[in-house]
Structure 1
Amino acid sequence: MLSHWVLAAVHLFAFALAFWAVLTRGRALSQLSVDAGGVKRILLADNLWGLSALTLLITGAMRAFGGYEKGSDYYLHQPLFHLKMTLLVLILLLELAPMITLIKWRIATSRGTAPDIGLGKLYARISHVEALLLMLMMVAATGMARGVVFA
């Protein structure tokens, strides 16, 4: 029982960190300047966003399919789980372009060159949309936890 609780707590903390990190990244991207401090803040928030997303994926898979919660049969037949997974896929698709660009920024800064910040404002908007989708995932998760079903 303790392992179930710890896993659920880590999953919830990862949601909180993910939400904060993607909003922080979005804010930093919207205020983007070419100084090293601005880029450093963006990359730090992006690192935390990536770490929290990985934690969510691992703990979520363990909870849904690892025998720690209600069991895979419950989740696979729960419409809110399908909604949550659809939102996850949308976040992953939205994240592709910012992820690739920020990897290029890391490479550029490691070489001592300024990154191309031309799409910074677009990636700020994408980050904010991802934060909204994370909130919707949390709403779906609370419904799943309470066994909400739609007839």
Structure 2
Amino acid sequence: MLVQWFLAAVHLLAFALGFWAVLTRGAAFSRLVAGSGDARRVLLADNLWGISALVLLVTGGMRAFGGYEKGTDYYLHQPLFHLKMTLFVLILLIELSPMIKLVKWRISLVRGAALDTGRAKLYARISHVEALLLVLMVVAAAGMARGVTLD
């Protein structure tokens, strides 16, 4: 019971951290567009966003498929679980472009080269869309926790 409680708490805290981190990253991208930002702030928020995504993936996988919660069969037959996973995959897909660019930024910073901030406005928007998708994941999770079905 304590392991289940711990996994659920860490999973929920990872949603909170991810939401804050992706909104902070979006705001930092916006400040870059305005000329008053710092790329290192974007990268720090991005690191936290990545850590939260990893924690969500690990704790969610353990809860759904590790025998700690309702069982794999429940999750595989729960439409809200499929919605939650679809939203997660959508986040991963739209994250590809910013992720690749931020890897390039990190390499540029190590080399002392200038950063290409031309798409910062787009990445700010993407970050805010990802925050919205995270909120929708939490809504789906709340429905799952209460046994809501979409019949």
Q: TM-score band, normalised by the shorter chain?
A: over 0.9
Q: Which residue of 1 aligns with 2:85?
A: 85
Note the C-alpha offset of 1:33: 5.9
Q: Would you say the 8 A contact 1:79–1:149 is kept in 2?
A: yes
Question: Equivalents in 2 of 1:32, 1:149: separation in Å?
Answer: 44
RMSD: 1.5
Amino acid paired to 2:22: V
Q: Which residue of 1 aligns with 2:133?
A: 133
Question: Equivalents in 1 of 2:32, 2:150: separation in Å?
Answer: 44
Question: Equivalents in 2 of 1:123, 1:53: separation in Å?
Answer: 17
Q: Which residue of 1 aligns with 2:63?
A: 63
Instruction: Please list every run of at least 4 consecutive aligned residues from structure 1 whose deviation after the TM superposition is greater than 6 angstroms.
Output: none
- Provide Cα deviations, 1:6-42, integer angstroms capped at 9, x if missing partner: 011000000000000000000000111698x710100
The unaligned stretches of length 5 or more in structure 1 are none
Q: Which residue of 2 aligns with 1:42?
A: 42
The unaligned stretches of length 5 or more in structure 2 are none
Amino acid paired to 1:25: R
Amino acid paired to 2:77: H
Amino acid paired to 1:55: V
Question: Equivalents in 1 of 2:60, 2:32: separation in Å?
Answer: 33
Number of corresponding residues: 151
Identity %: 74
Q: Would you say the 8 A contact 1:33–1:39 is kept in 2?
A: no
Note the C-alpha offset of 1:85: 0.5
